[in-house]
Amino acid sequence: MKYLISTLWMILLLASTVWAASEVSDSLSVLEAGVKAAPKDGDAWVRLGNAYLDAEEIQKADKAFRKGIRYAKSAEAYVGLGRVYMAMGPTRARNGLKYFRMARAKDRKSIEAELYLARAKVMLRDLDAEDAFRRVIEMAPDYAPVYLELAQWYTNHNLEMYYDEIQPLYKKYLSLRPNDVDALYGLALSYTEQQDYRPVVNIAETALEKHPQEARLVALVAQGHAALGDPDLALKFFQQYLQLIPSEERALYEDLRLVARPEEL
């Protein structure tokens, strides 16, 4: 009976994968038929370009967005072509900047143009990314992702002068999306940088109530209790952490030969 149930689940899983691929193919077919019927409809070309990007058909997306620019000259078309260059990787992302700026010139209220301009600058490790993210916040203060992206940008650049900026960004994001585990982890981690471990424990333990299998949260709680002078509680959480991580990773912690001298072994 167990084997039968397992087999049925495998069949359903495979079927769902096929159906998902089929849906993408069907939607592309519909959009391709649409531009054939109306080859000068720029908005239709933009929709097709976005679908090609989702399907990771970069060259086809490039052609579709260029058609969109030719016939619609819309901000969305320029944003799409900029995204094509981003999809080609960091070495080509710089070519996309001018298209995001052209999109912004077409529509000063385009959040997409400003957001992708910021994201392209992140790829390019350009410090001006901060200003672009801030413009998105001014334009759309309730657009949650920008707060998380800017907080992560500060964190990745290890800009100590901006530590006071990071926590308010995470908190604002969490006020809009309170159960996001990435933001909860990021906020707790930001306090470890300041060696302020009580908030680390409070945030991570609260998050674990809803995300009990998040090993990274367990590790933060363990680290926090160790820093606060409770080694027994820290050990309990470190042991829980080891049970949650993959066995090959666990071996790195359990095999003392990797770090100990012969006399210590």
pLDDT in tens, 195-234: 999 999 999 999 999 999 999 999 999 999 999 999 999 9
How far is Cα of residue 80 from the mean position of the Cα atoms in its chain? Answer: 19
Q: What integer pLDDT is reported at residue 26 of this predicted model?
A: 57
Placement of tokens 């308010």 in the chain: 168
Which residues does 167 contact at the CB level (< 8 Å), separation at least 6? Answer: 187, 190, 191
pLDDT tens digits along 5-42: 444 344 334 444 443 444 555 589 999 999 999 999 99
Whole-number average pLDDT of the chain: 88
Per-residue pLDDT, 259: 86
pLDDT, tens digit (0-9, with 9 covering 90-100), for 49-63: 999 999 999 999 999
Q: Which pLDDT belongs to residue 159?
A: 57
Q: Looking at residues 234-245, what average pLDDT do you find?
A: 94
Contact between 188 and 171 (Cβ < 8 Å): no
Q: What is the share, in percent, of the chain residues with pLDDT greater than 70? A: 89
- When pLDDT is averaged across residues 256-261 and rounded to a whole number, the result is 85
pLDDT score at 22? 47
Cα distance between residue 120 and residue 94, in whole Å = 7
Q: What is the pTM of this model?
A: 0.76
Does residue 242 carry a pLDDT above 90?
yes
Concatenated DSSP letters of the chain: -HHHHHHHHHHHHHHHHHHHHHHHHHHHHHHHHHHHHSTT-HHHHHHHHHHHHHTT-HHHHHHHHHHHHHHT--HHHHHHHHHHHHHT-HHHHHHHHHHHHHHHHH-TT-HHHHHHHHHHHHHTT-TTHHHHHHHHHHH-TT-HHHHHHHHHHHHHHT-GGGHHHHHHHHHHHHHHSTT-HHHHHHHHHHHHHTT-HHHHHHHHHHHHHH-TT-HHHHHHHHHHHHHTT-HHHHHHHHHHHHHHS-HHHHHHHH-GGGT--TTT-
Section 168-176 average pLDDT: 95
| Residue 48: pLDDT over 90 | yes
Kindly tell me if the per-residue pLDDT of 191 is higher than 60. Answer: yes
- With tokens 């949260």, the residue in question is 217
Two tokens, residue 258? 């990797």
CB 151 within 8 A of CB 185: no
**Sign of torsion over alpha carbons 50, 52, 57, 60:** negative
pLDDT at res. 258: 81
